[in-house]
Every structure is written in structure tokens, then in C-alpha cells.
Chains A and B, each alone.
Chain A
Amino acid sequence: MTTLALSTYVPADDLARIIVTVLIVALVAPSAASLAIVGFDRRRTGDAQTGNAFIVLGTGTLMLLVSLGIYALINH
């Protein structure tokens, strides 16, 4: 019922896309930040190669998300 009433005001397809996007980023962004944090800890404990790889992957993913955010802002 709620969905039905809501779809009168917000197109269900767009709403679904927004929710999926938000939930994916809610999983990916903290995972990426956590990966970079694990990387720093690995580097500190002597495993520099794995640590660096984690840091690059984590920060790279975060930067990609920020770039997508700015793209969405400019191209809406």
C-alpha cells in the first residue's frame, strides 16, 4: 500500500535505482576504507607489499566513488 501510494509521487523505477545505488555504495565505501586501514596496519607490522596493495586498492576505490559523485553532481 505504501509503495503504491508513494509511486504516485516518486517513479518506482527511479526510486529502486536510487536505493540500489545507495546500498551498493554503503557496502563498497566502508569496505574500501577498511581495506586501506588494514593496509596501513599490515605495513606497520612488516608486510609492506600486501599493505601497499591494500592501501592502493582501498584509496583508489574511494577516489573512484568520489569521482562518480562529482560526475553525478555535474551531469544531473
Chain B
Amino acid sequence: MLALVILTVATALVFNFTNGFHDTANAMATTIATEALPPRIAVGLAATLNLLGAFLSVAVAATIASGIVDQTKITVPVVFSGLVGAIVWNVITWYKGIPSSSSHALVGGVVGSVLIAEGSAGVLWSGLGSKVLAPAVVAPLVCGVAALLATRVAYRFTRSQSAESTTTGFRLSQILSSSLVALAHGTNDAQKTMGVIVLTLVAGDQLAPGSGVPNWVKISCAVAVALGTYSGGWRVIRTLGTKVTTVEPAQGFSSETASATTILASTFFGFSLSTTQVVSGGVVGTGLARADGVVHWSVVRRMLVAWLLTLPAAALIGAIADRTVAAFPSDTSGVVFVAVVTCCVLASIFLLARRTNVTADNVLEEIAPTPDEPPIPVPVAG
């Protein structure tokens, strides 16, 4: 059992790493796009704030899977399979450069493995609706409207100021707002993995039910998410920073401010949101606000399709992993086999990604998007 627990905890940390590099874009895509910070400095700052954020509070860790799946049905192989579903989907969407939700991938993976292992009684469908689906619909819309409003205010108040002052001022302000998003990401997302590891330790009889989060779990999760963030998900950064719309410093600040406020206000009132979806909504909203701005709807459509697919796709991969583990005579051998296969799949995707490598050096090179339809000019702004 101990070997099984160790493998699952390691898999959880790998998930946390992928969560970090997938979500670097949330805080820093627009900051990098507007050149408020050089790419490496931006991801370094995001990594540091994610590390700090992971220690700010452990409230999220206590609630991650509760309310979505029946806790009594959770076993170590079920958690492992859920993590495999989340990791594989995260890496696929990273390869495609699509900003999709790591949190939804995690929930999808766990729901899929519970569903196949325990049947539909193991899933709390109303919890899935209230904790995942409803916020997924509302949060990007709220953030989008707020970003639109903030952008118009920013442009209106500074229209008679010099371009130099406006650019410098909003770039500095943007560092502040994107830092807050990075801090919030560390607090929310590192803790989700802490919750998963605690769940594993309890299910594997290594921790008494109701125990707090051990310090080694806090530290390892904080380090994993920070390392992932520092490695920089450049493909997603490119999409969010340059392909959805062309972002100016005032827009970057407005978008990040709206995102940070939506995430923090929701967290304060007890709702766990997908940072990715909120930030994406903010970027679209700020693109709509500028008189000469364009939003590339073909890119937005790809994002929406990925969001719709995240839960079922991660659930399907989680379910396949669970059945594969169950086909082996012992859980440990099944988990080792699935872990090896998963490593091979991930290595293949990373090798494929090297053909069109996106790094800190070329992340902004393709500023002009290549939509499959002409961009739609957007009216507006005073």
C-alpha cells in the first residue's frame, strides 16, 4: 500500500507541475504581450508569487473533492487514475496552446474514475453543478464585462495624456495586477493538489481522517507549482497574450484587474473558480472594449470547445486508467503499468512539441494571429 501511496503522491506533484506551466499564462500572458516585463522575469515573478501563495491559506485544500464525489468511495487507485486523466488532458491542451482549466481537468479525471469504479452513485451531481458548471458559465462573463468596463474607463481618463506616460503608467500598474493573479493562483491551485494528496494519504491509511495538511505536503506542492510556473507554458502564453486580441498596456492592466477581482471576490464568498476561464474572459472583454480592437473569434471558439471537452475528456482518460489498473492482479502493478504508459504518452507529446518549439525567446514573434476567418472589427469606446 505504501508504494501505491508514494506513486500517487508523486503523480499528484506531476499534476501540480503541469498545472503551474499550463497556467503561467493566466497571470503573465498580457504582461509579457505588452512588454511590461521581459518573459523570463515575468515567469520568475509568477513562480515566486505562486510559491508564496501556496502558504497563505489551506482553506481550499480541505474542500477539493468534497461535494463533488462521495468521499467514502475514494480509493488510492481512483485518485491516481483521476490524476492521470487531468495530467494527460493538461499536456494535450498545452501542446495545442489552448488555455483550458487545470481544475476542471482534475475534477473531470476524478469524476471519471469514480464513475467507472463505483457507478453514478459515487458522483454528487448537484455538487458538480454548483461547484464546477455554474461558476464556469458565470465567471468568464462577469470578468469579461468588468474588463470591458475597466478598459473603457482607462482609455477615457487618459485620452489627453502623452502616450509615453500612459504606456509606462499602465505597464507598472499591470505588474501589480498580474502579481495579484499569480498570488491567487498559488493559493487556489497549489492547495487543490494539497487536497488530493491528503485524500490519498487518508485513503491509503497513512493519515488519520480529519487531519490537517502536513508541512511536507505544503512545501512539496508549493515547490511543484512554482517550478511548473517558472518553466513557462509559452504556447498558452502566446495564445492568450497575442492570438485572442492585440493587447495594449491599458488593456492588460484592465484585464488582469478584472480577473484578480473576480477570482478574489469569488474566493472570499466561497466559490472556487477556474483561473484560466476567468482570465480568458477578461482578455476577450478587453479586446471588445477598444475602438480599433479586434477579437479573433476563431481562437475564442477553439477555447470554448476545449472548455466544453475538458470535463468529459479528462473523465474518459481517468476512467480508462482506472479500468486498466483494475485489470491487473494487484493495484500496485496496475498503477506502475499506467504510470509507465502515461510517461510514454507525455514524452511523445513533448517530442512533437519540439518540432514547433515556443520559448521565452520567440513567444511574441507571431503577434499577428492566423485566424481561419477574417477578424471581426469591434465598434466602441469613447
Q: How many residues of A contact B (CB 8 A)?
A: 36
Q: Are A33 and B261 in contact (CB under 8 A)?
A: no
CB distance from B26 to the nearest CB of A (A): 15
Q: Are A26 and B150 in contact (CB under 8 A)?
A: yes
Check: A6 CB closer than 8 A to any chain B CB: yes
Q: Are A30 and B257 in contact (CB under 8 A)?
A: yes
Query: If the complex has contacts A30-B151, A73-B53, are A37 and B165 also in contact, measured as CB distance less than 8 A?
Result: yes
A interface SS class: helix
Q: Are A33 and B271 in contact (CB under 8 A)?
A: no
Q: Are B264 and A73 in contact (CB under 8 A)?
A: yes
Q: Are A72 and B267 in contact (CB under 8 A)?
A: yes
Check: A70 CB closer than 8 A to any chain B CB: yes
Check: B153 CB closer than 8 A to any chain A CB: yes
The tally of CB-CB contacts under 8 A between chains A and B is: 134
Check: B270 CB closer than 8 A to any chain A CB: yes
Q: Which residue of B lies closest to A11 (CB)?
A: B269
Q: Are A38 and B267 in contact (CB under 8 A)?
A: no
Q: Are A10 and B134 in contact (CB under 8 A)?
A: yes
Q: How many residues of B contact A (CB 8 A)?
A: 54
Check: A52 CB closer than 8 A to any chain B CB: no
Q: Which residue of B lies closest to A33 (CB)?
A: B173
Q: Are A34 and B154 in contact (CB under 8 A)?
A: yes
Q: Are A22 and B261 in contact (CB under 8 A)?
A: yes
Query: If the complex has contacts A19-B142, A41-B161, A73-B187, are A29 and B271 also in contact, measured as CB distance less than 8 A?
Result: no
| Contact partners of B150 in chain A: CB under 8 A | 26-27, 29-30
Cβ-neighbour of B169 out of A14, A22, A40 (below 8 A)? A40
Q: Are A74 and B257 in contact (CB under 8 A)?
A: no
Q: Are B134 and A9 in contact (CB under 8 A)?
A: yes
Closest 10 CB pairs of A and B: A34-B157, A37-B169, A9-B134, A30-B154, A26-B146, A72-B268, A9-B130, A26-B150, A33-B173, A25-B261
Extra contacts besides A14-B270, A33-B170 (11): CB < 8 Å: A6-B137, A10-B135, A22-B265, A23-B145, A29-B253, A35-B157, A36-B169, A37-B166, A41-B165, A70-B180, A73-B187
Residues of B within 8 A of A (CB): 53, 56-57, 59, 126, 129-130, 133-135, 137-138, 142-143, 145-147, 149-151, 153-154, 157-158, 161-162, 165-166, 168-170, 173, 176-177, 180, 183-184, 187, 250, 253-254, 257-258, 260-262, 264-271
Between A and B, 20 residue pairs with Cβ closer than 8 Å are: A9-B126, A10-B135, A14-B270, A18-B142, A22-B143, A22-B261, A25-B146, A26-B147, A30-B151, A31-B153, A34-B157, A35-B157, A36-B169, A37-B166, A69-B184, A69-B261, A70-B183, A73-B187, A73-B264, A76-B59
Residues of A within 8 A of B (CB): 6, 8-10, 14-15, 17-19, 21-23, 25-27, 29-31, 33-38, 40-41, 44, 62, 66, 69-70, 72-76
